[in-house]
Amino acid sequence: MASAENSNPTNVVPSGSKIYTVGDVGAGAQVAQGEHIQQVKNALAGVPESDVLVRQFAELMKRIAQTSDLDDETRDLALEKTKAVAEGLANAKESPNGLSRALRDAKAFLTSSVKGAWEGLSEILKSEAAQKTISAIAEGTTKAAIAALIGGA
């Protein structure tokens, strides 16, 4: 791993720069470094096809984080709302209303603030992987509300 000392022999840190130092964190540990980092991997553990969903949500969140025309607050809110939908999906069987509420909140915010983010989110939720979890929701009214929010499945 390169350190700031190796890449900057004068040890001068440019104004506005950040220096991150990561030490030995142990075998099997995961380290996230930087800004606007969100993780959905743990939230989706145990959901059918969780590996596919984790990848889809991670890609969407990466696109949101890299959207250059967003201010930090809007970007952070968009990431939070996207993560809330992932967590709602993970808990949909036990708490279908939680997913429905997270979707309503995300749709209201993302459609007005982050171009393309809602479309990306609804595509994830229409995917076969997500539909395996959503189809397990027994409560018909909530299931219908979720389908209406994402544009059917």
- Output 119 or 42, whichever has higher pLDDT: 119
* Per-residue pLDDT tens digits for 48-67: 677 888 899 999 999 999 99
Residue 30's pLDDT is 45
User: By C-alpha distance, which of 52, 102, 55, 96 is closest to 82?
Assistant: 102
Q: How confident is the model at residue 143 (pLDDT cuts 50, 70, 90)?
A: confident
Question: Please, which contacts does 118-122 make with residues 24 or more away whose CB atoms are closer than 8 Å?
Answer: 120/60, 120/63, 121/60, 121/82, 121/85, 122/149, 122/150, 122/151
Q: Where are the domains of the chain?
A: 38-150
Nearest to 34 by CA among 11, 18, 23: 18
* Predicted structure pTM score: 0.69
